[in-house]
């Protein structure tokens, strides 16, 4: 099509996309680095809470005179320290949705980096529960900004054919963050000074600096400019992202599609004031697959389900769980291994998510996870103290992590970034990410009570709960997750309108004129800009 006449007036025929240059690819992939925050912040705390110096500092207990079983943080403190970050991120991601529409996606992420640095500073300075708690709350806001808007930004700038793979790169960075946190904890755990916990905490600043500075060199999302009616800027950033000149047909057609779809959606969803923009996320009929309400429910519930898989039980409480299993000589090493499995399994999804699609990955992933979880629970209950049984449990926990990391881990983020129409996208994604953190928080709060030896003491039986929740994830994926592979974000809109979820893998973009643009005569961008000017003159 480039260079030649455009045959259809429809914006929904499958158009040819610009070849992806290495630079364009790198630009999109850099944003994934934001995942490091998420992973590192969630990951380092589990190890820190098991450190002798840290426990002694926060409880005043003497490790030499206190029996090992008693030398631990009380459940409520563990729960509060772990969960307060998620509480901060919950509110941070909600606020970020607003900010991203007012000032842009990029400045919002940069603001998140600054807030995170402040929160980390407080935590690093802390030598008591209060300041640590406050620091984690502030840092949580920063992580919330970053985690909500990175997904939005990446989904909006990535070429559609590699969008799934690129957003999976975000998950990959989360896993690297988690692994890195375990390594740092492992390296500092035996220090007999405050460096044991201060080093792992302070290192987070490095991620914020790298991402914040790097983002200054990346372009804003073209979809943000379209939303703001700044088409001249939209064309420039799109050309930069695709590595093409501004007047290239590729760029013009892609922009025309974004503009036309945005206009169409705006007609359907008028948003005249602040409250209406939020209210728009909940408009429509719950029975209508393509209504905003249904999409918001889909985005928030997929994130909730991702947490229900129980993955954070391993990453937040793994160290203490393995300690309590007894026969594991080095629980820190154990959590290092689980993080390594997580990292190594995630890249598989770069390929599978584009090859097989989102739906199959989520369905098979849930099946794999639930089977592993039930095996761990059954083995744990039947032969609890047998060393071979414990090895079997650990093996199945690792297989479970493999399934999560290659399916639901990246899949939930990819789908979340793809299902919202532009007028409500920033808020829809923000609500979904807030849901991830809300459930993350709920799990962080209740888990110590379920498994703590001084509380519910469920031990391996807790895996019956995770296995049952994963069964719900399987049913959910089968009935509710649509296939969005290979479609532009604008085509996803149409697919949701036209096609039942279970048949979505077979949907192909069809021609249907929806705008006044005459793409055969003039460039799409010129047409678009003129069209806008005419409207404003009227
Ligand atoms: C989840 C996190 C989890 C991580 C593990 C992410 O997709 O949202 O809660 O800790 O994966 O890799």
- Which of the pair, 304 or 382, is modelled with greater confidence? 304
Classified by CATH at the fold level, domain 22-242+270-483 comes out as: Growth Hormone; Chain: A; (1.20.1250)
Which range is most confident: 2-6, 278-282, 518-522? Answer: 278-282
Nearest-CA residue for ligand 1 atom 12 is 175
pLDDT band at 514 (very low <50, low <70, confident <90, very high): very low
User: Pocket of ligand 1, candidates 37, 85, 89, 171: which has the most ligand atoms within 8 Å of its Cβ, to mutate?
Assistant: 171
- 449: exposed, middle or buried (C-beta count within 10 Å: 0-12, 13-18, 19+)? middle
The rounded radius of gyration (Å) of the Cα atoms in the chain is 24
Alpha helices in 60-128 (DSSP H): 75-102, 105-125
338 within 8 A of 438, measured Cβ to Cβ: no
The reported pLDDT for the residue numbered 538 is: 37
Residue 15: per-residue pLDDT: 59
HEC string of 424-483 equals HHHHHHHHHHHHHHHHHHHHHHHHHHHHCCCCCCCHHHHHHHHHHHHHHHHHHHHHHCCC
Mean pLDDT check: name the lowest of 179-193, 290-304, 388-402, 500-514: 500-514
What is the signed CA dihedral for 395, 396, 401, 402, rounded to 10 degrees? 80
In sequence order, the 6+-apart residues with CB closer than 8 A to the CB of 486 are 160, 161, 354
- Distances in Å between the Cα of 182 and the Cα atoms of 13, 42, 285, 307, 374 are 48, 11, 46, 20, 26
Ligand 1 binding pocket mutation candidate from 46, 154, 168, 315 (most atoms within 8 A of CB): 315
Q: Tell me the best of 36, 37, 39, 313 to mutate to test the pocket of ligand 1, counting ligand atoms within 8 Å of each CB and taking the most.
A: 39
pLDDT at position 226 over 60: yes
Share of the chain above pLDDT 70, in %: 89
Domain coordinates of the chain in residue numbers?
22-242+270-483
Cβ of 338 less than 6 Å from ligand 1: no
Residue 310 · residue 373 · CB < 8 Å = yes
Q: In the predicted model, what is the mean pLDDT of residues 61-85?
A: 83
Average pLDDT of the residues in 149-155? 90
SS3 content of the chain, % helix, strand, coil (to 5): 75, 0, 25
The span from the CA of 415 to the CA of 412, in Å, is 5
pLDDT tens, residue by residue, 318-354: 777 777 776 566 767 777 888 899 999 999 999 999 9
**Cα 367–Cα 371–Cα 377 angle in degrees, nearest 5:** 145
In Å, what is the CA distance from 179 to each residue of 36, 40, 184, 332, 333? 10, 8, 9, 12, 11
Query: Which residues are within 8 A (CB) of 330 and not within 5 positions of it... i.e. 6 or more apart?
Result: none
The residue among 535 and 431 whose pLDDT is bigger is 431
Mean pLDDT of the chain: 85
Q: Decide: 248 in ligand 1 pocket, CB within 6 A.
A: no
Span 302-315, mean pLDDT?
Answer: 93
Residue with tokens 């979880």, as numbered in its chain: 373
> Is residue 1's pLDDT more than 60?
no
How does residue 293 score in pLDDT terms, banded at 50, 70 and 90? very high
Query: What is the distance in A from the centroid of ligand 1 to the CA of 343?
Result: 11
- Ligand 1 within 6 A of 241 CB? no
How many CB atoms are located within 10 Å of the residue 127 CB? 11
Q: What is the mean pLDDT of residues 176-205?
A: 91
> How much is the average pLDDT of 139-154?
91
- pTM of the prediction? 0.84
Q: How far is CA 199 from CA 23, 122, 340, 512, in A?
A: 34, 13, 21, 58
Structure confidence at residue 528 (pLDDT): 47
């Amino acid at each position: 099509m480039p260079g030649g006449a455009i045959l259809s007036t429809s914006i929904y025929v499958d158009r040819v996309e610009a070849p992806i240059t290495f630079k364009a690819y790198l630009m999109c992939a850099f944003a994934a680095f934001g995942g490091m925050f998420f992973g590192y912040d969630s990951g380092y705390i589990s190890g820190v809470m098991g450190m002798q110096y840290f426990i002694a500092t926060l409880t005043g207990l003497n490790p030499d005179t206190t029996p090992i079983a008693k030398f631990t943080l009380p459940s409520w403190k563990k729960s509060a320290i772990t969960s307060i970050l998620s509480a901060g991120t919950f509110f941070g991601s909600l606020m970020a949705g607003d900010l991203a529409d007012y000032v842009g996606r990029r400045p919002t992420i940069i603001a998140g980096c600054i807030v995170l640095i402040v929160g980390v500073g407080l935590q690093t300075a802390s030598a008591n529960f209060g300041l640590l708690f406050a620091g984690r709350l502030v840092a949580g806001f920063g992580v919330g900004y970053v985690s909500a808007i990175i997904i939005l930004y990446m989904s909006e700038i990535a070429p559609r054919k590699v969008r799934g793979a690129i957003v999976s790169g975000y998950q990959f960075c989360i896993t690297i963050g988690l692994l890195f946190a375990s390594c740092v904890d492992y390296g500092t755990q035996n220090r007999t000074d405050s460096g044991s916990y201060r080093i792992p905490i302070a290192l987070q600043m490095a991620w914020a600096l790298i991402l914040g500075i790097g983002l200054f060199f990346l372009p804003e999302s073209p979809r943000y400019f379209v939303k703001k009616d700044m088409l001249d800027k939209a064309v420039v950033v799109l050309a930069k992202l695709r590595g093409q000149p501004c007047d290239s047909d590729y760029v013009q057609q892609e922009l025309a599609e974004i503009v036309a779809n945005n206009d169409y959606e705006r007609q359907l969803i008028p948003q005249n004031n602040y409250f209406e923009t939020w209210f728009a996320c909940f408009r429509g009929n719950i029975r209508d697959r393509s209504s905003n309400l249904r999409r918001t429910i889909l985005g928030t519930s997929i994130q909730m389900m991702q947490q229900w898989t129980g993955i954070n039980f391993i990453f937040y409480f793994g160290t203490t769980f393995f300690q309590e299993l007894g026969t594991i000589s080095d629980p820190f090493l154990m959590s290092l291994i689980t993080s390594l499995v997580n990292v190594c399994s995630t890249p598989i999804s770069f390929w599978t998510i584009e090859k097989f699609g989102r739906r199959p990955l989520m369905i098979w992933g849930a099946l794999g996870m639930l089977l592993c979880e039930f095996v761990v629970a059954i083995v744990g209950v039947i032969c609890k103290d047998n060393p071979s049984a414990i090895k079997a449990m650990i093996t199945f926990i690792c297989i479970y992590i493999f399934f999560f990391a290659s399916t639901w881990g990246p899949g939930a983020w990819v789908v979340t970034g793809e299902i919202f129409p532009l007028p409500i996208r920033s808020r829809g994604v923000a609500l979904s990410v807030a849901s991830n953190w809300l459930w993350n928080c709920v799990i962080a709060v209740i888990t110590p009570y379920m498994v703590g030896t001084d509380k519910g003491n469920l031990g391996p039986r807790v895996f019956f709960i995770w296995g049952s929740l994963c069964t719900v994830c399987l049913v959910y994926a089968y009935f509710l997750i649509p296939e969005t592979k290979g479609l532009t974000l604008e085509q996803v809109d149409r697919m949701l309108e036209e096609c039942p979820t279970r048949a979505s893998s077979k949907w192909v973009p069809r021609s249907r004129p929806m705008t006044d643009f005459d793409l055969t005569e003039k460039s799409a961008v010129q047409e678009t800009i003129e069209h806008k000017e005419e409207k404003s003159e009227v």
